[in-house]
Amino acid sequence: MKLERYKESLVDLNKVLEIDPSNVLALIEHGSIHYILKNFTLSYEDWNKASKIQKEYEESLTDLNMLLGIEPNNVQLLEQRAYTYEMLEQNYEQSLEDWKRRWKLVRLIQKFSSVDIIIY
């Protein structure tokens, strides 16, 4: 019975990873299930990939913090940092603050701009 549930979970996680191959949480869970099923090579591959992606997000966060120190009102940088915080799952409060600040800036730009900006 448990074996079937693990296999079902792998199917679901495979779907998630098809859509988002960089999903660190899905990779970790996928690797954990492979480990439980004694597929150690597959488990190592998943965990290794998750670790590399995690490091890329951490490096990105360092760069974004530096750039926002130079351009604190750059809406694209704020959006990217908010997303990066979410992906790292380490600072949801800061992510939310970045999103709020971004939207506030966008509204100000729209209010005082004669040019329409695209919000995505």
Residue 40 is assigned to a structural domain of this protein: yes
How far, in Å, CA of 12 to CA of 16, rounded? Answer: 6
Number of structural domains found in the chain: 1
Residue 79 is assigned to a structural domain of this protein: yes
Residue 9 is assigned to a structural domain of this protein: yes
Residue 7 is assigned to a structural domain of this protein: yes
Q: State the virtual CA torsion across 2, 43, 57, 103 in degrees, nearest 10.
A: -20
pLDDT at 1: 45
- Which tens digit of pLDDT belongs to each residue from 22-69? 888 899 999 999 999 999 999 999 999 999 998 998 999 999 999 999
How far, in Å, CA of 59 to CA of 95, rounded? Answer: 16
What range does the domain containing 10 cover? 2-112
CATH of the domain at 100: 1.25.40
Residue 118 is assigned to a structural domain of this protein: no
pTM of the model: 0.64
- Which tens digit of pLDDT belongs to each residue from 83-111? 888 888 778 888 899 999 989 988 888 88
